[in-house]
Each structure stands twice: as structure tokens, then as C-alpha cells.
Structure 1
């Protein structure tokens, strides 16, 4: 079993990439305390002095009821939690650093995967981002194939992951894909949060068998688990039992029941050892569980049981454990420390360069959104509005100057608001994926940001182009190719600016989409009113609002392209008036178009820069 696991990643990778060698990591965490601030400046202790150690080749399981601090402790070990944290966590007697991060695989409880990618595509794109640039494309593909085979995903390797709206692979297969993403880097330390959550017992057994096999290959594996079956429990080399953030047991899983029996908690004959352990973690003595459920002072009794368990742990296990950790010979880690130190300089750098990350992320984004790009509903929505508007403004005569100007304002309004609302959801929808991948050090934020925004351009620009083609000619605007092309460029320019504002709003309010859409609605209404069409004489104290509206600049540019100072229209029978003197046009003006273009360019760059800075806050 050990030989099978080690063969997954070592033979063909060692010669070409020093970073891929499996360096054993001994994990030690001592007196870990973590607190969070609640409302009213009160503090709550999530972890209260947790201590333990895991050696290479061992599988450590963290048990405990919901809210006991299992996931928090795992996140702390993975170097993904900051705040009021104290204690000492070392990896081969070294603190957490870039080299350790690159060698740590972290599988979250929820499978965060792109639904429209296949299993192979998901793993291949991960390999292209996380494996070092010294590996060729063929070597990365072969490595993905080996991981697919090892994890038993061969039958579904060409199937889509699936999501809430369409069926894909099963839950167990998704979990194995998530594990496979971390296995691609041949992690020395593998952390898994509730890998069996939501799975049936047979599938959970298969997942844990795979995890156990990975541990046997020389990896240090730590997992949280809520309710293991008896077969799964017997796979654990070590167990940590948590109760409301406090530790009540650390040691071999096989001796846990004997320990609790020795301190006065006799357990009835049970098939699954995890059941009485979880009862104890809840403060319920297994031999009197019915009395606790029916007793009037159940909560007080549970507190008493917990207090006794913590006291016994401090007396019987904690003191000896701390002594053992302190007495460990540092020389035992010399070989592993030298291996890590030798690659630390390289590991601190990105595995791939910026351009490679950008290309991979761009291709992945296009493949993931290829179905959205050809979304029939969106195409129908835009084309139907264009045709309906074209029929309403059908070949509007030049004498109907008010209708023609209203048509131009409609261009600025529709393509000032439609892309904004679509862009608002861009980053909130990918928040979980961004957190997961950035936590793993897969790519630079700048390469992701540009790839994500540029990948959306074909769809974002194709629809307004089709819209303009339809409405411009149906509406009877100036039949000049140059004027049409300039009008189209202004519309596309406005789309990019509106998209930029939507990205900024979505990035700032990343965690609350409702607030983001509300802010977008208020902003668009203000821009609509101040756009220069509805109100010509805005009071001086609030006139600055129109200069913030890109709809105003788009409207003005479209007017300036369609008309000049010498154009006239038939204002009454046989009488011609200058377009520039028409009330709506005069309030906006037909001059300073270059300045308007520069202001919109400033908005385009500024909004995107704000969005980029806002994404830097994502942790």
C-alpha cells in the first residue's frame, strides 16, 4: 500500500523539479489559544491551549461535536488564520513560511469547484498553475493521469463537475477531485476538513481509505471528522478529542476508551468507539446518557463532566505530552530541515511566471463560461430590446429632433446600466474559489484580475455591437459609415466603464450581494436623472453629480458624433433651426469631446483599480 502511494508522485518528478520531492514534515502545536471578539467588545475563546504532534506517515483525527473548534484548529495549523492567536506551531521545528505553504495541501469541507469544467480539466488547470515551470506540459498531463487513476476517477474523468442547476459527478467523486487538486503538488502535509461530510457510509469509507493510503506514503495527514463509523475510526493513528475548545484527549485511537475507563467513565459495549467519545465531548457520561437527557439539571451536570475531563487530561496526558515535546531531539529533524532550507529560496517564489498564470487563467475562464457566453436568454433579451426599440424609433425623420436625441440617450442609458448589473456579480460568485486558490498560493492576484476581466470582453462587447447594428440603422440615424463606427466605439467604451464600476461595487461588497445590487440600483438611478436629458438646469449646489455620470459623457459624445455646430433641422414648416440651439442639446453642448473621452478613461482605470484593491482584502 505504501509503495503504491509513493509511486504516484515521486519517480518521474524528482529528476525534473526539486520542489516536487516529498520532504517529511513533523507537525507540532503547543498551547494553541485562539480568541474572537464578539459584539460589545466581549471575547470568546474558540481554542483553549490545544497541544499535539503528528509524525510523517500518521493520520491524526480531530473529533468533537459541532462548535468544538475542530475546523478552527485545522485552519490555524494550515497557516490560514490570523488574529488573537497564541501558542507555538512548528513544522520540522520551523515556523510557517512560504516553503511550508507550498508543501501543504488543504481540502476544505465544501468542494469549491467550477461546475462546467470536466474532472480532467479541473485537475489539469490546477496542475498548470501549481506545478513548477521546470515540468513540461506532457509531464504535467501524465501526472494528472496518475492522480486520476490513483483516486479512482477514471470512469468520470471526462464528466463535468456539475452544480446546483445541472447534474454532474457524485458527491464522493467531487471530494476525490478536491483531494486530487492538493495531491498534484505531492504535499508533505495534508489537511482535510470534514472529508466525509454529506457522504454515505460506503463512499465515506472509500474516501478515508484513500486518505489513509496517502498517509502511509510518508505524508503527515490531519483531518477533522464529525461522526466517523467504526471502520473509519480504526484507521486513525492518533485522535484529538475537543470539547468547547478544550482538549480532553490526545493519543492513539485504539486506547481512547481505555483511558476514559481509567478515569472513571465506564463505557457500555459499543460497536463504534466514536459514539461514547462524542458523548463525553458533549459532557454526557455514556453510562448515564438517559439520565442526562431527562434530568432537570442536565446543563450543570454536563459542565461538571467537562470540568472533570479537562482536569484529568491536564493531570494524566497534558503534562507528559508537553515534556515529551520539549525533550524531542532537534537533530531528529536535521535531514528534513536541510531539505526544506535548500529549497526555501525557490519555494518562496511563484511556481510559474505572471504570463503563464494569466494564459492559464484566461483559458480556464473562457472554458468555464463558454456556456454562459452563449446564454440564449441573454442574447434574446438584448436582441429583442434592440428590435423593439428599432420598431418604436423606425426611421425617425431628421425633423423629429427630440425623438432622435431620446434614441441616443437610450443608447447611453441601456449600455450604461446593463453591463454594470452583470459585472456586480462577477467577483461575489467567485469569492470562495478566489479564497481557496489564493490561500494555496496558486497565482498572483493581478494575473487573476486581468484574466477574469479580459475573458469577459467577447461577450460584453459582442452583444452591444449587435444591439447598435440593429437600432442604429432601424432608427434612421445618420447613414454614414464613419459616424456609425464612431458611435459604436463610444457605446463599447461606455460598456467597459460601466463594467468597471460594477466590478468595483461587487469587489467592495464581496460578502453581501444584496447590498451590492442595492448600491448599483441607487447609482444607476442617480446617473439616469443627472445624465443631461431629463433635467437641463440642475441647481448649482448639486450640479457636480452629472460629472460623475458616465451616462452623461456617453450621451454627450453620441450627440457630438451625430451632430455638429452647423447642422440644422426643420423646426416648423419651411423654417430651419440649428441643432446646437435645441434646448436639450444646448444644455449638454457639442464641444470638448476630447476632454469627455479622457474623463471616461480616468473612470475606466480608476474603477478597475478600486476593484483590484478591494480584492486584496480577501482572506
Structure 2
């Protein structure tokens, strides 16, 4: 490799960004030796329990292995064999409750979480995407955030085109990814290849894939594994777990690692596996899928546990003493100068999992803002349905409360107060429920993307807040502009502007409450259940159903945390404080309210609270949004455990 130009500072080959990232990667070898994994017992809440302290449970026992470049390696085994634990151990993922012993190396360099995250990509079993984006848009988004910050935009876009071509995604490049039941999108096989493409943007030399064929039919599964085979030929080192592959899929694998009862039952070329099983008295029948034979032979069948475990133990011992096991010697860095320089680079890698040349804070914000804008304008609940619903409801309200002048009589007081509170309820529903419907669906995507170091928590959250503003203002403006002038509210431009500002603040408060509930809810169903339940007390103490002066002392805290209270008092004061005359037929009325100030006093409101109410309403917006942000931070911490 003497013709390879090394970067004098990093030890990696110099990347010619003008050539848009070569498809070839420098091959790496992953090895692990004598690894043991224990599941730590859960901590007892009661320190006075008489039960003996539980000991750690062994999950993996003295496992060793090696994954070489140019060879597609599959990890197989029955359920509970230890495949997922092995994957978590090697990728440094989901290790919170695990105690791990042993060494994991790449090209002889001892790995830790940060080094592995810089070197490897991990394609998880579940494909999580924003369904309203196209394949190309999704990959452009990934390229802008994952590729070196010094790479030009043109080169990043070209890299996207190259990756789509390599993985056969060009024909569906401008197709929506899709959301089940809402947006028709790409096929399951294309979605899995898109998961590969998302990680291959930066051309990582090492790739882990979990349950790569799960949920796919035989044709799609074959297509996906063929894509992996293509990547192996490009120089990637790939390890994937598979569950009962078809014979056609199994033939594509070069090497397999068979797991059973947390031990390695075999590791090596597929052809050697057939010979090994034959040598221990379990030959594969003619015209039978070898993969099924291996898994069934190593499975623990209910009712026959003792017999099956004895067979597995004997096979694992036979493998440990076999020539194949002895060949899995600890991998040492070879003498090639290129690999030596790469090892130096890995050892010099700092704690940070993201390259120092990654995108800046504002580059992250710009990219996430771009995606948030696209997803918002394409989300029917946030745009089409919401605006149509607002327009129709505004016209309906305007016709119900239709009044074209400001000559008020006693009956108008109830009507005006009713339309004001109904407006506040409408602002709440219009801005709360779309968020409860949409935001919880995005949180799993956010947690995965943030977990891979794609962007910061505050970048994601700020982008959501900023993109929401024009939609919130537009929706609120439609409703208040129509209802205000049709329902007989004070026909004065200054009063209308005040009402519009209050309306936007009320909408923002409801939206903020929605973000807090959504962030805390694990699903849309729970969010939609909790939202109305928690909103109802705030609604009751908003000043319409219960007089402001009649709130019980033990519920006073709910009153002062209700945006309905502050919004209603602001709107009432704004409407009535300059009304000097309200007609009254004293002969037919027992009580007459003669002016707007009397209306305000009858509700136990105070027009001197106007600035205070604005301040409190704004504070609630900040409080609920800050609470949502804290919940997101906690979720990100927990997801990394």
C-alpha cells in the first residue's frame, strides 16, 4: 500500500473531496477474545429484605471471534442464544445493566465506546424514519450532518447520489418513505436498504446490522443481503444477526458464528460448519436448509431442556477443542505501515464520539430546521386538515354569534363572554391535539438520531419551536380575524390587535402544554389520553364555568397555572374596559349591568392585572416548554443506558 497518501495529522488516507468520497474503504478486522457478559441484578428498594442478594447472571461465556473484511459474516442462533447481547457488547450499545469482561479490538487497537462510534455504524432492527420525507431528502439530511464539515455541499449531494446508486435506491429516490396507514411509501426491502444507505454516507469501514431480514418476504430478504454482499466487496467489514434465513439467503454468507446458551458453538466458513456438524454426529440432511438445521440442532426445546442443553454443551466443548477454534488467535496489528498509522489514529481518538470536523451548531440547526419545515408542511394534521377545520369552525362561530355593531344590550354580555371563552378553547384544541398526534411519533426517531451523535438535543428542540411559530400564528390569525369581526367584539383596530396578540399567546401556551405531555408520553395513544385529562382542571378554573372568586383554596394552585385564566381575563378586560354604555330595560330586568367595567367586576377580574396576566401567560409558555426540554434530556440519558 505504498501508493496510499496518508494524512500527516490523522494517519488516515487523504480524502480527495473533489472526487466525492471514494466508494472503497480501508479494510479493518474486528476481533474479540475471552469475553464474558453478566446481567447485573436490579437494585432492591427495600434494604431490610431478608432475601439473599442476587448474583449477576452470566449471559455470554468466554466468547471469542473475528470478523474479516471481504467476508460476509452472519451471527445465528435460537432465541435466547446470546446474539443480541453479543451485538450490544461489540457495538457498546445498551450496556447499562451489563457487566462486560474481555477485549474488543480493531486491527489490534483496543476499543472503547467513543472509538467504536467513530469507526463503526450500526443498523438496528427497526427502521425509523420521518415518513413524509423522500428517500433523497432523508439522505441529504444525513449527509449534511454526518459528513465532514469542510466538505462542500456539492460533494455531499454527489455522495448521496453515489450511495443511492450503490444500493439500488435511485428509482425510488423521490418517493416518500411512507407512514403506515397515512402516507404510501417505499417497500420493506427498500426501507432496509435505506437504513444501510443512511449509515454508509460517511463510508464507515465497520458495519453492524441487527436482524437484517426480519419482517421481509423471501425476495426482499434476498435483495437486502445481496446489498450487504455488494458492500463487503467494496471493503466494508460487516457483521449481521439473522433469524432463520432461507437457503438462498444463507448461501450469500461467507462465514457464520453460531451461538447457543451464551457460548460459541461454531465460528468459521459456512462449508466448514457443515463438516463440523457432521463430525459431531449431526449431519445436515440432503436438500435441507443448513441454517434451519444449525438452529434446530442448537435450540433448547421446551420439555427436553436437559437433553438439549447436554447436546449444546457437548458441541461447544467439541468446538473449543477443534482446529477451527484454535485458528481464532488474537489479532495483532500487522506490520503494514498503513495499518500502523491507522492504529495510531484510533489510539489518538479522544473521548468525543463526533469528529472535530463535524458540522457546527448553526449547521446542525439549519439542517434540522430544513427537515422540520418539510415534515410540517407535508403533515396533514398540521396543515391541510388543521387549516380547513379552523376556517370552517371560524365561519360557523361567526354565524352563531353574528353581530355587526357595538350597540350592546344585556343579552350581549353573555354572548360576548361566551364567544371569548370558546375562542380560547378553540386555540387550545387547535394547537394541543395536532402536537399530541404528531410529536410522540417523532421522539423515537429523535432518540435514535441523537444517540448516534447526529445532532444535539437543543438543536432539535429549538428547530421544532421555530418551525411551529408561522403555523401557530397563521392558524390563530384565521380564527380570530373571522370570529372577532363577525361576533360583535369591539370594532376597534387597537382592541383587535391586542386580542390577536393575546390569542397567539394562548395558542402558544396550549402548544407548550402539548409538548410537555407529548415528551412525557411513550405513545400517541397515551398522549391523547393524558392531554384532555390534564387539561380539564385548567379549563374548569379558567373563569367561565366557575367564578374567579369562588375557587376553593385547596385548588388555588391549579387556577394560577391555567392559561385559560390569564387568557380569559386578558380578553375580557380588552373587550369591556372601554365600553361605557350597555342598554338595559329596567322594567324587564332584575339586574342591570350598565358598562364594561361592571362586567369585569362581576367576573371578579381586575383590569389592573393586564400586564401581570401577560407576564404570567408568557411565563407559562416558557415553563411548559422548559419542562418538555428537561423531559427530552432525561429520555436521551435513559436511552443511552
| TM-score using structure 1 length | 0.88
1:172-211 superposed matches below 5 A: 172-211=189-228
Match of 2:266 in 1: 249
**1:282, CA displacement in angstroms?**
1.0
Contact map agreement 1:19 1:132 (CA 8 A) in 2: no
Query: Are positions 1:125 and 2:171 aligned together?
Result: no
1:301-320 superposed matches below 5 A: 301-316=307-322, 320=326
What is the CA–CA distance in structure 2 between the aligned matches of 1:522 and 1:162, rounded to whole Å? 31
Provide, for residues 351-376 of structure 1, a one-character-per-residue CA deviation record: whole Å limited to 9, x for no partner: 10111111111111222232225744
**1:134, CA displacement in angstroms?**
0.7
Contact map agreement 1:190 1:222 (CA 8 A) in 2: yes
Match of 2:393 in 1: 385
What is the CA–CA distance in structure 1 between the aligned matches of 2:25 and 2:36, rounded to whole Å? 27
Provide, for residues 365-405 of structure 1, a one-character-per-residue CA deviation record: whole Å limited to 9, x for no partner: 22223222574432332222222222221118522212211
Query: Are positions 1:543 and 2:556 aligned together?
Result: yes
Change beyond 3 A, Cα 1:37–1:382: farther
Partner SS state of residue 163, structure 1: coil
Match of 1:466 in 2: 478
Match for residue 359 of structure 1 among 354, 366, 369 = 366
**1:152, CA displacement in angstroms?**
1.9
What is the CA–CA distance in structure 1 between the aligned matches of 2:114 and 2:611, rounded to whole Å? 48
Of stretches 469-478 and 435-444 in structure 1, the one that deviates more from structure 2 is 435-444
Match for residue 522 of structure 1 among 533, 537, 541 = 533
Match for residue 612 of structure 1 among 624, 629, 633 = 629
Partner SS state of residue 470, structure 2: helix
Change beyond 3 A, Cα 1:513–1:368: closer
Partner SS state of residue 144, structure 2: helix
What is the CA–CA distance in structure 2 between the aligned matches of 1:591 and 1:95, rounded to whole Å? 66
Match for residue 615 of structure 2 among 598, 601, 608 = 598
What is the CA–CA distance in structure 1 between the aligned matches of 2:439 and 2:118, rounded to whole Å? 25
What is the CA–CA distance in structure 2 between the aligned matches of 1:22 and 1:476, rounded to whole Å? 71
1:129-278 superposed matches below 5 A: 129-164=145-180, 165-278=182-295
What is the CA–CA distance in structure 2 between the aligned matches of 1:349 and 1:611, rounded to whole Å? 29
Contact map agreement 1:102 1:441 (CA 8 A) in 2: no
What is the CA–CA distance in structure 1 between the aligned matches of 2:61 and 2:434, rounded to whole Å? 45
Match of 1:76 in 2: 89
**1:455, CA displacement in angstroms?**
1.8
What is the CA–CA distance in structure 2 between the aligned matches of 1:212 and 1:90, rounded to whole Å? 23
Where does structure 2 lack aligned partners over 5 or more consecutive residues? Answer: 1-12, 45-52
Query: Are positions 1:86 and 2:107 aligned together?
Result: no
What is the CA–CA distance in structure 2 between the aligned matches of 1:87 and 1:330, rounded to whole Å? 25
Contact map agreement 1:16 1:135 (CA 8 A) in 2: no
Provide, for residues 513-561 of structure 1, a one-character-per-residue CA deviation record: whole Å limited to 9, x for no partner: 4333333222211011111121121122322221010110011111122
Query: Are positions 1:401 and 2:384 aligned together?
Result: no
What is the CA–CA distance in structure 2 between the aligned matches of 1:415 and 1:492, rounded to whole Å? 8
| TM-score using structure 2 length | 0.85
**1:310, CA displacement in angstroms?**
3.5
Change beyond 3 A, Cα 1:236–1:344: farther
**1:70, CA displacement in angstroms?**
2.1
Of stretches 545-554 and 96-105 in structure 1, the one that deviates more from structure 2 is 96-105
What is the CA–CA distance in structure 2 between the aligned matches of 1:244 and 1:591, rounded to whole Å? 74
Provide, for residues 230-255 of structure 1, a one-character-per-residue CA deviation record: whole Å limited to 9, x for no partner: 34333333311122433322222221
Match for residue 39 of structure 2 among 35, 41, 44 = 35
Contact map agreement 2:124 2:210 (CA 8 A) in 1: yes
Partner SS state of residue 430, structure 1: helix
Match for residue 126 of structure 2 among 110, 121, 129 = 110
Match of 1:450 in 2: 462
Provide, for residues 286-320 of structure 1, a one-character-per-residue CA deviation record: whole Å limited to 9, x for no partner: xxxxxxx9xxx534432332333344344447974
**1:265, CA displacement in angstroms?**
2.5
**1:344, CA displacement in angstroms?**
5.0
Of stretches 141-150 and 511-520 in structure 1, the one that deviates more from structure 2 is 511-520
Provide, for residues 142-166 of structure 1, a one-character-per-residue CA deviation record: whole Å limited to 9, x for no partner: 1111111111222222222223134
Partner SS state of residue 61, structure 1: strand
Contact map agreement 1:494 1:554 (CA 8 A) in 2: yes
Partner SS state of residue 379, structure 2: helix
Match for residue 493 of structure 2 among 460, 481, 487 = 481
Provide, for residues 440-475 of structure 1, a one-character-per-residue CA deviation record: whole Å limited to 9, x for no partner: 211111111111232233222211210111111110
Partner SS state of residue 258, structure 2: strand
What is the CA–CA distance in structure 2 between the aligned matches of 1:34 and 1:221, rounded to whole Å? 26
What is the CA–CA distance in structure 2 between the aligned matches of 1:539 and 1:571, rounded to whole Å? 33
Contact map agreement 2:210 2:241 (CA 8 A) in 1: yes
Change beyond 3 A, Cα 1:597–1:555: same
Match of 2:440 in 1: 428
Of stretches 184-193 and 418-427 in structure 1, the one that deviates more from structure 2 is 418-427
Of stretches 37-46 and 218-227 in structure 1, the one that deviates more from structure 2 is 37-46
What is the CA–CA distance in structure 2 between the aligned matches of 1:114 and 1:480, rounded to whole Å? 45
What is the CA–CA distance in structure 2 between the aligned matches of 1:99 and 1:485, rounded to whole Å? 57
Partner SS state of residue 209, structure 2: strand
Partner SS state of residue 577, structure 1: coil
Partner SS state of residue 622, structure 2: helix
Provide, for residues 391-426 of structure 1, a one-character-per-residue CA deviation record: whole Å limited to 9, x for no partner: 221118522212211211112222134312222344
What is the CA–CA distance in structure 2 between the aligned matches of 1:311 and 1:567, rounded to whole Å? 97
Where does structure 1 lack aligned partners over 5 or more consecutive residues? Answer: 1-9, 285-292
**1:229, CA displacement in angstroms?**
2.9
Partner SS state of residue 208, structure 2: strand
What is the CA–CA distance in structure 2 between the aligned matches of 1:14 and 1:389, rounded to whole Å? 60
Change beyond 3 A, Cα 1:76–1:615: farther
Query: Are positions 1:532 and 2:543 aligned together?
Result: yes
